A and B are shown apart, each in its own frame.
Chain A
Amino acid sequence: MPNVPCVLALAFTSLLGCLPRTEPADLLALTPDIPANRAMQTRMFDTPNERELLSASAAVLQDLGFQIEESQRDIGFLRAVKERSAREYGQYVRQALVLILSLGKILQPVDLHQQIAAALVTHPLNPESTRQEVRIKFYRIVWKGDGQFDSQYIPPGEQYMEMIRDPDIYQQFFAKLSKAVFLEAHRI
């Protein structure tokens, strides 16, 4: 019976795959990079008109090619998305190299499609509502194509999300917004 330990080990590892991945203990804890992110994503405007700021934000997002998906005036909230191709030349080169080096056995999935989204919130900063804060977050969801690992087929549609952390994108948005409302955007 030399195969029994092997079978047991195999059964155990296959069971391990069934266990749901549990959350890490420090989930939702405040991290040191919060103030920096907040500063990048937030600007203040000296205006009493929150509604005007919100509609100008919607117009700027539309100029940038976004479609507004969700809006709530009472709490100053907007969510907008745009769909684009996520194909990158570099990924195809890497895919080809891996395919050649693995003697045709591994075909890595490449990024095919992406949804770029923006969530924007306006917030009055004082009781007279003469100053407003605008905070926007850009992120993207990427869908991958199909691939092959040895004899196992990897189906397409695997997705992952990443936050957009390039400060230039946020600066461009706020530059456009301050032009649209004829106001200067103050950093926090």
Chain B
Amino acid sequence: MKGGTMQTRRIWAVIVLAGGLSWHGCAAPEAPPDLLAPTDAQMKIRSLQIKTFDLTDRNAAIRGVIASLQDLGFIIERANESLGLVTAARFAEPNYYDVLTITVTVRQETSEKMSIRANAIYNNKPIEDPKVYQNFFAALQRALFFSQESTSSS
């Protein structure tokens, strides 16, 4: 008889526990109050993505961005001169199944300063590695330098 009550108690305990767990699932998850608030990590990645160049010609800057992306093996998918926007993608060779997408925006800050921002995404995940952005800006600087050199020499 005693064993029987123990068993019933155990069953009740399991039922209560299961009920509690299922209720837990029903509670709506509350949005944290700092959702969409800028985080330190965002500010840091933003500072990595932006670089200011001493350039006056916006059109030449966009063409420089396109040239550097082409050098890096990207395919230009979309470009918009009036917004200063270039979107390009490439499969991360030699692995043909990983996709690397980049959006570059060119914005004139002052008459002599051009701010260029690059957002790179690897397989739907933003790249946060500073080295990657440094590599991109090195390639961009090189392309801009070559285009300036070709325009000044001729």
Kindly state the separation between the CA atoms of A59 and B66 in the bound complex, as whole angstroms: 22
> Residue-by-residue, is A129-144 near B (CB-CB < 8 Å gives 1, otherwise 0)?
0010001010100000
Q: Which residues of B contact A20 (CB under 8 A)?
A: 123, 125
Given the known A-B contacts A21-B98, A27-B100, A27-B122, are A123 and B151 also in contact in the complex, defined by CB atoms under 8 Å?
A: no
CB distance from B88 to the nearest CB of A (A): 9
Can you name the residue of chain A whose Cβ is closest to the Cβ of B84? A75
Q: Determine whether B39 belongs to the interface, using a CB cutoff of 8 Å to chain A.
A: no
Q: Which residues of B contact A166 (CB under 8 A)?
A: none
Q: Determine whether B91 belongs to the interface, using a CB cutoff of 8 Å to chain A.
A: yes
Q: Which residues of B contact A74 (CB under 8 A)?
A: 59, 81-82
CB distance from B151 to the nearest CB of A (A): 5
CB distance from B41 to the nearest CB of A (A): 16
Q: Which residues of A contact B136 (CB under 8 A)?
A: 28
Interface residue tally for chain B (C-beta within 8 Å)? 43
Kindly state the separation between the CA atoms of A44 and B93 in the bound complex, as whole angstroms: 28
Can you name the residue of chain B whose Cβ is closest to the Cβ of A138? B75
Q: Which residues of B contact A98 (CB under 8 A)?
A: none
Q: Determine whether A168 belongs to the interface, using a CB cutoff of 8 Å to chain B.
A: no
Can you name the residue of chain B whose Cβ is closest to the Cβ of A33? B73
Q: Determine whether B131 belongs to the interface, using a CB cutoff of 8 Å to chain A.
A: yes
Q: B80 touching A72 by the CB < 8 A rule?
A: yes
Can you name the residue of chain B whose Cβ is closest to the Cβ of A77? B79
Within 8 A of A (CB), among B134-154: 135-136, 138-139, 142, 147, 150-151, 154
Q: Write 27 A-B pairs (CB below 8 A) sorted by A numbering.
A: A23-B129, A25-B129, A25-B131, A27-B122, A27-B129, A27-B132, A28-B120, A28-B132, A30-B72, A30-B138, A30-B139, A34-B72, A37-B71, A37-B73, A41-B70, A70-B77, A75-B59, A75-B63, A76-B63, A77-B76, A79-B77, A121-B66, A123-B63, A123-B67, A135-B67, A161-B91, A162-B96
7 additional A-B residue pairs with CB within 8 Å, beyond A22-B125, A27-B120, A125-B154: A23-B129, A25-B131, A28-B139, A123-B63, A160-B91, A162-B91, A162-B96
| A-binding residues in B (CB < 8 A) | 59, 62-63, 66-67, 70-73, 75-82, 90-93, 96-98, 100, 120, 122-123, 125, 127, 129, 131-133, 135-136, 138-139, 142, 147, 150-151, 154
